[in-house]
Chain A
Amino acid sequence: MRPFTGWLSLVSACGAALLLSGATALPGAAQQTHVAGKTGNAARGKPLYTRYCAGCHGDEGDAQGENAQWIDPKPRDFTLGVFKCRSTPSGALPTDQDLFNTVTRGFVTTNMPPWVALTPQNRVDLVAYIKTFSPRWRTAQAGRPITIPPEPAPTIEGILRGRELFQNLECWKCHGPAGHGDGPSAKTLTDSKDDPIRPYNFQTGTRFMCGETNQDLYRIFMTGLDGSPMPSFADQLQANQAWDLVHFLRTLQPLHSPEAAMWRSWFSTHGRELKPIGPEGGGQ
């Protein structure tokens, strides 16, 4: 009898060890996420994911959910560990806060809705579970968020400098001379999975892919939208230049912004001095 109970306890110990390793194999460091004082747990996130996310993103996080074939742009493939909206440099993993913000905000130009109906705790748990799909989270840490210096007040000089940058950095090649998303390269753009993708059309006046504030806009072109054709300009722009570009881009949107008002009043008297943007253009 004795040897038998010994075996039994050994077997149960093995079982417990298996269970434990199963739990850690799930996500290791990614198992828990920390956003704004809340701790997310992947095990709690899993049923939420199955309920709300798997329909598009797939049970395995591979963007092969049953709805995926009807969706354009395609859902994010979490197994790649590549994310558009980050506060971290191109090539780096996003922070937990970045993923939380994305789940909360949704993508205005895609089928991804804002998940504000879920509690913040639910969303933090979902982030923890999303991080279990890619092996990148087990070998690499989130990048260090870029610093965004305080925004200077917009000036017409700054807007004009921003316009020159829009010309010289050739933003218009994709986004179009007037920001309508119709530049010469727009039609041939593909994302990293070779699916066609459209550049942002400023004329729609919708929110940007990753937020809506001037800071969000600054962050978009200083980090790039990884997995998409939008590159990072962090190596090419000084902070003051980036702010100039932000202020110019605001004038392309049909919105009541201080930049747009400033631009309209300047343009009404000086419009004819401007060179066009585009292949023949010199910007200012």
Chain B
Amino acid sequence: MIARFTSVVALVAMVSGPAPGHRAAGGTISGKVTYTGTPPKARPIDMSKEPSCVAQHATPVTTQDAVTGAGNSVDYVVVYISAGDEGAAAATDTVRYEQKGCQYIPHVAVMQVHQPLAVLNDDPTSHNIHPLAKVNAEWNKSQPKGAPPIHTAWDQPEFIAVKCNVHPWMHGYFVVLKTPHSSITDSTGAFKLEGLPAGKYTVTAWHERFGTQSQEVTIAGSETKTANFVLTARPY
């Protein structure tokens, strides 16, 4: 169980940013996602209706739907291969999606079609997990404190908004992709797609508020290509 957990942690680390010392065979596409325009300001969340969650945060939590950083970097952008890697081996690790302190961790979880997904409730309160799927089947399940993880998976690629009706500030995303090649930008806006065989790829960056952008990148051998994205930010 511990071994499995560490492998999941390693996977999360790999997906969420460049892993030190890790070099996969094949080409790499790396880059940075920034914005132009005016992004919405992160707003503090009032969790006073749920004292057990307030107690878990030293400082008030802010909204995560538009997290930006120094140099106009954008956090939580999913960058993935949207065309060119058809037939790549599917990931089989379990993706963890935790409810902790009345927040979703990670805010955006990326998984492949049919990849196992475990939803956990670490809070001493009830949550209901309500993925607002349109292409896949929408469901809504209660997960009280101490309840076992909900194990599930998605059949179709889709960007699925997730909410908890009990705690209306809780918003997240399940990003279900066909490709195993994806990366979520970190707080510096950086991403890295590794292990790409030679070929021509369409790389797409998706952000829940700032939209989608694509570009073509051709990889020949084990080179590293740079692909930067500039998304257009709008205030609320």
| A contacts, CB < 8 Å to B | 80, 82, 90-93, 136, 140, 168-170, 173-174, 184-185, 188-190, 192, 224, 226-236, 279
Smallest CB gap from A170: residue in B: B126
Q: Does B134 contact A (CB under 8 A)?
A: yes
Residues 113-138 of B at the A interface (beta carbon under 8 Å)? 125-126, 128-130, 132, 134, 137-138
CB < 8 Å: which of B132, B137, B144, B147 contacts A192? B132
Query: From residue A71, how far is it (CB to closest CB) to chain B in Å?
Result: 22
Chain A neighbourhood of B140, CB < 8 A: 90, 224, 226, 228-232
- Let me know if A192 and B138 touch, CB within 8 A: yes
Q: Which B residues are CB-close (under 8 A) to A80? A: 134, 138
* Nearest 10 pairs of A and B residues by beta carbon: A91-B139, A229-B165, A231-B128, A170-B126, A188-B168, A231-B142, A91-B137, A90-B139, A231-B140, A184-B49
B166 contacts A236, CB within 8 Å? no
**15 CB < 8 A contacts A-B:** A93-B137, A136-B137, A169-B144, A173-B166, A184-B49, A185-B165, A188-B168, A189-B168, A190-B168, A226-B140, A229-B130, A229-B165, A230-B140, A235-B142, A236-B147
How many Å from the CB of A282 to the closest CB on chain B? 14
Per a CB cutoff under 8 Å, which of B132, B141, B147, B168 touches A90?
A: B141
Chain B residues with CB under 8 Å of A93's CB are 137
A189 to B129, CA, bound (A): 14
**Residues from chain B with Cβ under 8 Å of A234 in the complex:** 141
CB of B146 to closest CB in A, whole Å: 9
- What residues on B are CB-neighbors of A184 within 8 Å? 49
Given contacts A174-B165, A192-B138, A226-B139, contact A231 B147 (CB under 8 A): no
Q: Is the interface of A mostly helix, strand, loop or mixed?
A: loop
Number of interchain pairs (Cβ within 8 Å):
78
Considering the chains assembled together, what is the distance between the CA atoms of A227 and B138 in angstroms?
7
Cβ < 8 Å to A, chain B residues 204-225: none
Residues of chain A within 8 A of B49, CB atoms compared: 184-185
B137-A169 in contact (CB<8A): no
State the Cβ distance, B145 to closest chain A Cβ, in Å.
Answer: 8
Q: 1/0 contact trace for B140-165 toward A, CB 8 Å? A: 11111001101000000000000001
Q: Which residues of B contact A226 (CB under 8 A)?
A: 138-140
CB distance from A271 to the nearest CB of B (A): 26
A211 to chain B, nearest CB (A): 19
Measured in the bound complex, the distance between the Cα atoms of B156 and A140 in whole Å is: 13
Q: Are B142 and A232 in contact (CB under 8 A)?
A: yes
Q: Does B107 contact A (CB under 8 A)?
A: no
The answer for the CA separation of A93 and B137 in the assembled complex, in Å, is 9
Contact, CB under 8 Å: B141 / A232: yes
Q: Tell me the bound Cα distance from A229 to B45 in angstroms.
A: 21
Q: Do B142 and A233 touch (CB < 8 A)?
A: yes
B141–A224 touching, CB < 8 Å: yes
